[in-house]
């Protein structure tokens, strides 16, 4: 029975890789044949709109391989989940691993598969979304000359993400952690000819790298102190650590989360990452990859809990969770505000993603892995849905700016329906999936003992209001508001996409509704408790007072109402607000991303480049020219000068006394100074003869 | 046996001197270098007679091999300019010839007289080479008692090389 | 009946083939390259056979000579003077075997990728084979005398390869390379003589190791270590004495650069580990009075941080890669300084990993140079559109060099950092801790300049690049071979680490 | 054993020395002057070796000196030739009779 589960897990992990391998080889052969000349930068959308959807044989082959391999993975995942949830006990795990480095000292650094409730839960989310988004990408990427490359990388990413989920040690997790960064890099920079894409890709990778370095340091200190990196061995070994050590490690590991899951101050890369194709945004930058941070903290939650144990006091060292919570709450607010002023639809969704991930991290900081994973599930579904529909909208109107759209609900009804459902989920409309999970998070924060939990709670509620507001804003602007005159033509031609562009979003919309139904707490089945039993056996949820969900519902409804009022009924107020002298600088401040990017760029460009130039100058000018060329060669000249000073100061004093004699003699011998070396030598030889003759004479006398 | 060695030594000595003379008297610089080679080999043979086979090896490899190559290169680099050797006992050289001959006599006289005063162990040759094997002693000495000699020589030669490279390279190459 | 010629064949085949290659010129220049390729390919296959025999040495115990901890042991009296014996002694252990295979591999790909050279072809391949013999001799010599000879022989062909087939400033670079490394090896020679004297007048390394262990004056051995380290660190090179490297790399022809980066740098690392860590007694590193580890760690840290920043402002792609090489060698220093099993294994693995990664990068820069006419990163743009496969391999190897997991560079970096963190990092008044922090942080800058390089070269619309023709087979094939090894070492590092640990466990026995 | 009288090598050495000096003071070509200097050095070397060989105490310092002298001669030749090459570059010739910039003005 156990081995069966392991084989299923192996199937889940390997099948995307197999697909990716086939596609990579295929892509290389393709490029070797065409020499890359056929790949152009533009998607030829117009072309296929005129001729209808006709996939080339190449596209058919590639997308079939891609989707099939993910489908295989999904099937394995379903089998695994069914097997696991029906046969295993709560909190049980299975693991298989092998020694990666192959020598005795590092035998505790292993690579393997870890199957427990957390990884199965996360794996289900990943495979399901990946399957749907792969199907969507089949049509979305149609006509792009980089089709094979896209699917190869996309499959590669799915495999990597699943491997990350099933990682059994910190070391393995770090490998895939960085590799999802790589696939993110490759996919953001997919349209390789766009300078902005190249820039965004680099930025994403680098911001991640900063976090990764903190993560690496964190778990290497852990390795030093405990001698193991395997997740299953760690909980028993960390009890020997001092609170300071645990806190330090926890915060360093959280550094990785800041990079990967886009927390303050490194969250700006996520908005730029929207340069990639929409399916990429949908799966990497909203629903799976950026959740890796949340997943990791959940995975090693025992560490944070260890750091947290006991009462909070600031003299002690148990501040790790507080750092997490506060960073998350600040990020949630900042990113939410930014989504409010952003004009590009994908960027709005990106900031919204940051804000929502912060909710999950906030839940973790408040001490509940369950609430975080709960919100992760609901958010992953509706955010992927929103991205897919947003992609469809962009696909049909060829613009990213929401103000250039308008009144699209009649033109693209299927997309509109799906997107509306997603937006309702995001806004946390009472009764829909987002509402329940968000509520769980807020309740956790409210009842936690993190310092300042009431303030955190308030921040969460404010963010909930803002979320509802910006969700309403873009829905109304895109679908309900009349388009401005210059954009009417653009909107007129819009119509729903083909099968693969509409069906996956609709399936997702169905999933959102299904989730909403599942999440409704009934006396028979409470999803949160069910999840908690699996993820945190032995822990019991707080009895949540009824006021909290009611408060939350009121706030959300207020937000939606404000949105509708501002953006639909009374647009003038908004216009006058935009003219307000107090609002403009604030708006500008937010739109400039609170100058976080500017500061980081300044650090990256100015001091780093100054240091760089300086060191290069040291290299070339000081080490090369001065030390080698000057000190060694001219150093001897310097010595000569020193002796020269000695000469002039002391010897000359004596010499000057007899200069008269010298001068007289010099005049006499002047004629000998012919300047010809031979003559000098002759004189020398003659002198030698005289000298030797004299010595001979002396000996002879003796 | 003794007279044979002696005769050989005299023969080689005369040949060496003749070669040295040739070095100075030949017209072409290239030929002068060739004569120098023979002179150096002659000196090396002298070393052998005196019992220093290892030194002979060094003399031939370093001197006759290494330094001569340097000369050849520099002759090539400074052009094939021919210099006439003014050995026609011209007036301008008569003084120099005189000086040289005087030098030879005074020097010989001096050395022989000093040697006569010090009473070395007669004229017997201490031919350790034939009894102990000089190369072996030499190496033992170099690697034990004098084991810093080779590194110091290395530094010396290296600095010479550094200097000559610095001298020869043009400014724009550096 | 053991066979005493395994390594002699490895050493003498290229040495004998070298003059033959030169003489082939009379029969047409093309034959020289074919002959050199065949010789190096045979060497490579032969070295793989040796690898197999090494792993299965218990099975073939009657064929393979094992003595003094070395496999394929050969020892013949060479120069016998009184009590002093200089041996012709060869042997491999866990440290040298991977480097031997690396040597044959790098020479094979470098010789293949230098098919574009048509000028004085026979001489070039002849020098390449001589270089191969020299590098090989350095790695397998067990006698310090032989070691030093091989070490110095390497300089000559490399000097001529740079000076004849190099770029515009080749003469300057060749002289600089020669002077730096030669001067440094004189220091090493003095160190060797001190060790020789302290170790009871022998040059045979295993004997020296046992003799030195009983030597009382630690300070003298530490002095000897520093003197030898000057030689090795200049060859590495580490920061204060590194300026020959960028010049030499930039001016050398790209196969020459790949040999230079892939192997000649490793000779320094090998020497430091073999003569420093292995041969000298443990106290040189572990004694409280000795600051050897601190000095090494500082050198490594400074090299990493320093070159990371300098590389940021480079315009020439080859120069950037050259600086990154210095940084990677800094990781080797750090690994040795950590003095843990992880650290030293990581350092050795770094040498192997860098030995396959940096040649790839240099050969790619050669491909770009030949096809685009320039290596200036401010002009290069949009390479993807012109050379998609080369670009892919460039991205691959640049990321490998930046330490991307699942590729070779990461394993080495991870092990080294694990060793660093595991060593007594809180000793020396937190100095180690800060060294570690700076070293780890500089990885970000490394990733930064590589990504910036990729952004400038690979991405964007091509503007100035004029690609004359598709890259030749001989330009691309070596890249594939090397990339295969990068991936192999990254995914299955234990094939090397199992062997290197046999060496490391002698120095640091597992608890 | 046998007897080569010590006078023989001494006479050889002084003859070489004198010839060397003669060369130095008569030659015009700088390279040939260097060659003559090599003769002088060799003469000195013969003396060292001779006295080392005839020394009953069999001290080996003489050999080491000879070794040193050979090395110094190598260095001297390298430097001297480098100088002459530079001279040749700057003046176009190396006839020392024509190079009289050392002359008193």
Q: Which residue among B103, B113, B117 places its CB closest to the CB of A685?
A: B103
Contact A100, A173 (CB under 8 A): no
3-state SS track over D33-91: HHHHHHHHHHHHHHHHHHHHHHCCCCCCHHHHHHHHHHHHHHHHHHHHHHHHHHHHHHH
Q: Is B11 on the interface with C (CB under 8 A)?
A: no
Q: Which residue among C311, C388, C461 places its CB closest to the CB of A31?
A: C388
Q: Which residue among B140, B150, B151 places its CB closest to the CB of C82?
A: B140
Distance CA A607, CA A609 (A): 5
Q: Is A688 on the interface with D (CB under 8 A)?
A: yes
Would you state the pLDDT for residue B149?
80
Please list every residue in chain B whose beta carbon sits closer than 8 Å to the beta carbon of residue A633.
Answer: 166
List subunits contacting chain B, requiring 3 or more Cβ pairs under 8 Å: A, C, D
Contact A412, A392 (CB under 8 A): yes
Q: Which residue among B95, B106, B166 places its CB closest to the CB of A633?
A: B166
CA A425 from centroid of its chain's CA atoms: 25
Distance CA C225, CA C191 (A): 7
Q: Which two tokens stand for residue C160?
A: 């001529």
Would you state the pLDDT for residue A650?
59
Q: Cα–Cα distances in Å, from B154 out to C178, C186, C349?
A: 14, 7, 35
Is the pLDDT assigned to residue C397 strictly greater than 90? yes
The one-character DSSP state at A89 is P
Instruction: Judge A/C contact: 3 or more CB pairs < 8 A.
Output: yes
Shortest CA distance to C143 belongs to which of C84, C183, C97? C84
Residue B88 — pLDDT band, cuts 50, 70, 90? very low
Q: Which residue has the higher pLDDT, B165 or A364?
A: A364
Q: Which residue has the higher pLDDT, C493 or C288?
A: C493
CA angle B44, B50, B53 (to 5 degrees): 55
Contact D50, B43 (CB under 8 A): no
Would you state the pLDDT for residue B28?
75
B125 and D1 within 8 Å at the Cβ level: the answer is yes
CA angle A283, A284, A290 (to 5 degrees): 120
Neighbours of B11 (CB within 10 A): 10
Q: DSSP E strands: which ranges in C131-290?
A: none
Cross-strand bridge partners of residue A629: none
Residue C175 — pLDDT band, cuts 50, 70, 90? confident
The one-character DSSP state at C472 is P
Q: Which two tokens stand for residue A132?
A: 């749907």
Secondary structure (3-state) at A637: helix
Would you state the pLDDT for residue C346?
93
Radius of gyration of chain C (CA): 22
Radius of gyration of chain B (CA): 21
Residue B158's Cβ-count burial label (10 Å; 0-12, 13-18, 19+) is: middle
Neighbours of D57 (CB within 10 A): 8
Would you state the pLDDT for residue B2?
64
Q: Is C312 on the interface with A (CB under 8 A)?
A: yes
> Mind listing the pLDDT tens digit for each residue in C109-152?
999 998 888 888 888 999 999 999 999 999 999 999 999 999 99
Contact C185, C151 (CB under 8 A): yes
Q: Cα–Cα distances in Å, from B29 out to A681, B85, C14, C393, D32?
A: 21, 10, 40, 59, 7
Please list every residue in chain A whose beta carbon sits closer than 8 Å to the beta carbon of residue C404.
Answer: 178-179, 182
Q: Which two tokens stand for residue B14?
A: 């005369």
Shortest alpha-carbon distance between residue A198 and chain C (Å): 6
Shortest alpha-carbon distance between residue D102 and chain A (Å): 4
- Which residues 6+ apart lie within 8 Å of A492 measured at CB? A411
B interface residues, A as partner, C-beta within 8 Å: 95-96, 99-100, 102-103, 106-107, 109-110, 113-114, 117, 162, 166, 174
Residue B126 — pLDDT band, cuts 50, 70, 90? very low
Which residues 76-105 of C have a C-beta within 8 angstroms of B? 79, 81-84
Shortest CA distance to C238 belongs to which of C280, C272, C187? C272
How many C-alpha atoms does C421 have within 13 Å on its Cβ side?
Answer: 20
First to last CA, chain C: 37
Q: Which two tokens stand for residue A197?
A: 């894409």
Rounded to the nearest integer, the mean pLDDT of chain C is: 87
Distance CA A455, CA A453 (A): 5
Would you state the pLDDT for residue B116?
55
Distance CA A308, CA C420 (A): 28
- Which residues 6+ apart lie within 8 Å of A606 measured at CB? none
Could you tell me the sign of the dihedral formed by the alpha carbons of A580, A583, A585, A590, in that order? negative
Residue C396 — pLDDT band, cuts 50, 70, 90? very high
D31 and B2 within 8 Å at the Cβ level: the answer is no
Shortest alpha-carbon distance between residue B109 and chain D (Å): 9
B62 and D71 within 8 Å at the Cβ level: the answer is yes
Is the pLDDT assigned to residue B169 strictly greater than 60? yes
Q: What is the largest CA-CA distance in chain A?
A: 137
Nearest residue in B to A636, CA atom: B163
Q: Which residue among B50, B54, B86 places its CB closest to the CB of D9?
A: B50
Q: Cα–Cα distances in Å, from A491 out to A417, A472, A475, A503, C62?
A: 17, 20, 15, 22, 84
Distance CA A109, CA A97 (A): 10
Residue with tokens 């509940």: A368
The one-character DSSP state at C85 is E
Share of chain D above pLDDT 70, in %: 80
Cross-strand bridge partners of residue A113: A96, A167
Is the pLDDT assigned to residue D68 strictly greater than 70? yes
Q: Which two tokens stand for residue A186?
A: 């490759």
- Which residues 6+ apart lie within 8 Å of B5 measured at CB? B49, D2, D4
Q: Parallel, antiparallel, or unpaired: how do β-strands A93-99 and C84-92 relate?
A: unpaired
Distance CA A519, CA A570 (A): 35
Secondary structure (3-state) at A97: strand
Contact A189, A198 (CB under 8 A): yes
Cross-strand bridge partners of residue A689: none
List subunits contacting chain D, requiring 3 or more Cβ pairs under 8 Å: A, B
Low-confidence ranges of chain A (pLDDT < 50): 38-51, 313-315, 636
D21 and A685 within 8 Å at the Cβ level: the answer is yes
Q: Is D15 on the interface with B (CB under 8 A)?
A: yes
Would you state the pLDDT for residue A673?
61
Would you state the pLDDT for residue C400?
92
Secondary structure (3-state) at C316: strand
> Mind listing the pLDDT tens digit for each residue in A221-263?
888 888 888 888 888 888 888 777 888 888 899 999 998 888 8
Residue with tokens 């949820």: A541
Q: Cα–Cα distances in Å, from C26 out to A662, C13, C130, C161, C422?
A: 69, 21, 20, 21, 60
Q: Which residue among D3, D7, D22 places its CB closest to the CB of B100?
A: D22
Q: Which two tokens stand for residue B68?
A: 């001569």
Q: Cα–Cα distances in Å, from A191 out to A89, A187, A284?
A: 47, 8, 16
Contact A174, A216 (CB under 8 A): yes
Distance CA A257, CA C54 (A): 45
Neighbours of A655 (CB within 10 A): 12
Q: Which residue has the higher pLDDT, C427 or A347?
A: A347
A699 and B117 within 8 Å at the Cβ level: the answer is yes
Instruction: Judge B/A contact: 3 or more CB pairs < 8 A.
Output: yes
Secondary structure (3-state) at A410: coil
């Amino acid at each position: 029975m156990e081995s069966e589960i392991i084989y299923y897990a192996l199937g889940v992990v390997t099948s995307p890789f197999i697909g990716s391998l086939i596609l990579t080889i295929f892509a290389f052969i393709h490029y070797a044949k065409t020499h890359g000349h056929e790949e152009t930068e533009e998607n030829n959308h117009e072309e296929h709109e005129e001729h209808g959807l006709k996939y080339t044989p190449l596209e058919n082959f590639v997308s079939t391989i891609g989707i099939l391999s993910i489908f295989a993975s999904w099937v394995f995942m379903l089998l695994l989940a069914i097997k696991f949830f029906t046969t295993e006990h709560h909190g049980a795990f299975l693991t298989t691993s092998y020694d990666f480095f192959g020598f005795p000292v590092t035998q505790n650094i292993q690579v393997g598969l870890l199957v427990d409730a957390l990884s199965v839960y996360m794996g289900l989310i990943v495979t399901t979304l990946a399957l749907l988004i792969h199907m969507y990408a089949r049509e979305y990427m149609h006509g792009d000359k980089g089709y094979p490359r896209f699917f190869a990388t996309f499959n590669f990413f799915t495999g990597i993400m699943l491997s990350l989920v099933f990682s059994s040690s910190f070391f393995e997790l770090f490998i895939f952690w960085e590799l999802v960064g790589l696939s993110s890099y490759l996919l953001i920079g997919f349209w390789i000819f766009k300078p902005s894409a190249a820039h965004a890709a680099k930025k994403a990778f680098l911001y991640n790298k900063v976090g990764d370095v903190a993560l690496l340091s964190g778990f290497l200190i852990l390795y030093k102190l405990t001698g193991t990196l395997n997740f299953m061995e760690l909980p028993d070994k960390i009890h020997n650590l001092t609170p300071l050590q645990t806190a330090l490690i926890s915060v360093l590991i959280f550094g990785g989360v800041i990079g990967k899951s886009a927390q303050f101050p490194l969250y700006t890369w996520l908005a730029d990452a929207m340069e990639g194709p929409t399916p990429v945004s949908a799966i990497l930058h909203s629903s799976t990859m950026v959740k890796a941070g949340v997943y990791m903290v959940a995975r090693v939650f025992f560490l944070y809990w260890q750091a947290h144990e006991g009462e909070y006091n600031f003299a002690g060292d148990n501040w790790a969770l507080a750092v997490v919570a506060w960073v998350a709450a600040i990020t949630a607010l900042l990113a939410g505000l930014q989504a409010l002023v952003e004009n590009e639809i994908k960027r709005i969704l990106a900031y919204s993603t940051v804000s929502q991930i912060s909710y999950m991290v906030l839940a973790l900081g408040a001490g509940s892995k369950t609430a975080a994973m709960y919100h992760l599930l609901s958010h992953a579904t509706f955010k992927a849905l929103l991205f897919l529909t947003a992609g469809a909208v962009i696909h049909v109107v060829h613009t990213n700016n929401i103000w250039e759209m308008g009144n699209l609900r009649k033109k693209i009804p299927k997309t509109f329906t799906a997107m509306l459902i997603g937006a309702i989920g995001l806004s946390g409309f009472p009764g829909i999936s987002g509402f329940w999970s968000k509520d769980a998070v807020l309740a956790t924060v409210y009842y936690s003992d993190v310092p300042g939990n009431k303030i955190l709670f308030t921040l969460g509620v404010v963010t909930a209001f803002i979320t509802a507001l910006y969700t309403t804003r873009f829905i109304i602007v895109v679908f309900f508001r009349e388009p401005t005159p210059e954009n009417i033509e653009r909107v007129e031609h819009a119509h729903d996409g083909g099968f693969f562009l509409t069906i996956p979003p609709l399936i997702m919309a169905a999933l959102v509704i299904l989730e909403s139904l599942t999440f409704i707490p009934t006396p028979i089945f409470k999803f949160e408790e069910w999840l908690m039993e699996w993820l945190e056996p032995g822990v019991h949820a707080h009895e949540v007072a009824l006021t909290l969900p009611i408060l939350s519902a009121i706030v959300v409804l207020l937000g939606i109402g404000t949105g509708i009022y501002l953006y639909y009924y009374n647009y003038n107020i908004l216009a006058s607000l935009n003219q307000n002298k107090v609002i403009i600088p604030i708006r500008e401040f937010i739109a400039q991303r609170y100058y976080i990017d500017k500061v980081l760029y300044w650090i990256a460009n100015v001091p780093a480049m100054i240091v760089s130039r300086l060191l290069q100058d040291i290299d070339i000018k000081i080490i090369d020219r001065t030390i080698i060329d000057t000190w060694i060669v001219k150093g001897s000249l310097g010595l000569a000068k020193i002796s020269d000073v000695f000469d002039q100061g002391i010897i000359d004093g004596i010499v000057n006394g007899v200069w008269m004699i010298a001068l007289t003699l010099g005049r006499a011998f002047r004629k000998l100074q012919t300047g010809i070396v031979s003559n000098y030598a002759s004189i020398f030889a003659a002198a030698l003869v005289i000298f030797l003759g004299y010595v001979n004479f002396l000996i002879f006398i003796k | 046996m003794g007279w044979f060695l002696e005769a050989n030594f005299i023969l080689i000595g005369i040949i060496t001197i003749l070669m040295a003379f040739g070095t100075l008297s030949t017209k072409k610089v290239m030929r002068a270098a060739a004569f120098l080679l023979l002179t150096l080999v002659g000196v090396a043979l002298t070393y052998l007679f005196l019992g220093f086979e290892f030194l002979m090896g060094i003399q031939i490899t370093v001197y006759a091999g290494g330094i001569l190559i340097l000369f050849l290169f520099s002759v090539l680099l400074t052009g094939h300019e021919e210099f006439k050797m003014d050995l026609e006992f011209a007036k301008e050289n008569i003084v120099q010839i005189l000086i040289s001959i005087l030098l030879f006599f005074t020097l010989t006289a001096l050395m022989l007289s000093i040697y006569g005063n010090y009473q070395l162990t007669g004229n017997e040759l201490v031919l350790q080479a034939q009894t102990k094997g000089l190369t072996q002693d030499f190496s033992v000495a170099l690697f034990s008692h004098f084991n810093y000699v080779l590194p110091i020589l290395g530094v010396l030669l290296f600095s010479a090389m550094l200097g000559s490279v610095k001298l020869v390279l043009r400014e724009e190459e550096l | 009946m053991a066979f005493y010629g395994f390594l002699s064949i490895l050493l003498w085949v290229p040495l004998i083939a070298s003059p033959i290659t030169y003489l082939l010129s009379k029969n047409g220049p093309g034959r020289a390259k074919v002959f050199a390729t065949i010789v190096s390919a045979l060497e490579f296959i032969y070295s793989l056979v040796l690898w197999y025999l090494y792993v299965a040495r218990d099975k073939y115990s009657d064929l393979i000579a094992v003595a003094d901890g070395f496999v394929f042991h050969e020892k013949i009296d060479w120069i016998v003077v009184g009590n002093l014996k200089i041996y012709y002694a060869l042997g491999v252990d866990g440290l040298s075997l991977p480097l031997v295979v690396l040597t044959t591999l790098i020479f094979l790909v470098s010789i293949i990728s230098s098919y574009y050279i048509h000028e004085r072809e026979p001489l070039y391949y002849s020098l390449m084979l001589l270089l191969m013999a020299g590098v090989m001799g350095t790695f397998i010599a067990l006698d310090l005398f032989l070691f030093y000879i091989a070490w110095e022989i390497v300089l000559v062909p490399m000097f001529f390869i740079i000076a004849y087939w190099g770029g515009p400033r080749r003469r300057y670079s060749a002289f600089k390379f020669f002077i730096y490394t030669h001067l440094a090896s004189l220091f090493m020679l003095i160190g060797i003589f001190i060790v020789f004297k302290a170790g009871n007048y022998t040059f045979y390394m295993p004997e020296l190791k046992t003799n030195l262990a009983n030597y009382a004056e630690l300070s003298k051995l530490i002095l000897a270590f520093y003197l030898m380290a000057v030689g090795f660190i200049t060859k590495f090179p580490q920061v204060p004495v590194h300026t020959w490297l960028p010049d030499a790399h930039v001016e050398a022809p790209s196969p020459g650069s790949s040999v230079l980066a892939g192997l000649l740098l490793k000779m320094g690392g090998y020497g430091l580990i073999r003569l420093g860590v292995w041969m000298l007694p443990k106290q040189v590193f572990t004694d409280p009075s000795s600051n050897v580890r601190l000095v090494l760690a500082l050198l490594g840290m400074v090299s990493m941080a320093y070159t990371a920043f300098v590389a940021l402002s480079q315009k020439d792609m080859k120069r950037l890669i050259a600086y990154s090489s210095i940084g990677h060698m800094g990781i080797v220093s750090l690994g040795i300084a950590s003095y843990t099993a992880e650290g030293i294994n990581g350092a050795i693995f770094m040498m192997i990993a860098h030995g396959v990664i940096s040649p790839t990068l240099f050969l790619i820069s050669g491909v770009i140079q030949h096809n685009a006419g320039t290596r200036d990163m401010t002009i290069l743009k949009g390479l993807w559109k012109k050379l998609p496969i080369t670009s892919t391999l460039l991205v691959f190897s640049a990321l490998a060099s930046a330490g991307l997991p699942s590729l070779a560079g990461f394993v080495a970096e991870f092990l080294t950092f694990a060793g660093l963190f595991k060593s007594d990092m809180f000793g020396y008044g937190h100095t180690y801790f800060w060294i570690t922090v700076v070293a780890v942080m500089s990885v970000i800058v490394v990733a930064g300049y590589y990504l910036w390089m990729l952004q400038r070269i690979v991405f964007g619309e091509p503007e100035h690049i004029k690609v004359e023709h598709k890259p030749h087979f001989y330009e691309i094939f070596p890249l594939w071979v090397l990339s295969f090894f990068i991936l192999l070492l990254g995914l299955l590092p234990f094939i090397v680490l199992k062997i290197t640990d046999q060496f490391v466990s002698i120095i640091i026995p597992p608890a | 054993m046998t007897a080569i009288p010590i006078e023989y090598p001494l006479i050889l050495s002084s003859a070489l020395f004198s010839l060397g000096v003669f060369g130095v003071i008569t030659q015009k070509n700088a390279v040939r002057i260097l060659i003559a200097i090599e003769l002088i050095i060799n003469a000195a070397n013969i003396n060292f070796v001779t006295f080392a060989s005839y020394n009953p105490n069999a001290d080996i310092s003489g050999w080491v000196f000879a070794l040193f002298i050979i090395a110094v001669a190598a260095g001297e030749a390298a430097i001297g030739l480098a100088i002459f090459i530079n001279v040749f570059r700057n003046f176009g010739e190396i006839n020392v009779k024509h190079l009289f910039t050392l002359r008193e003005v």
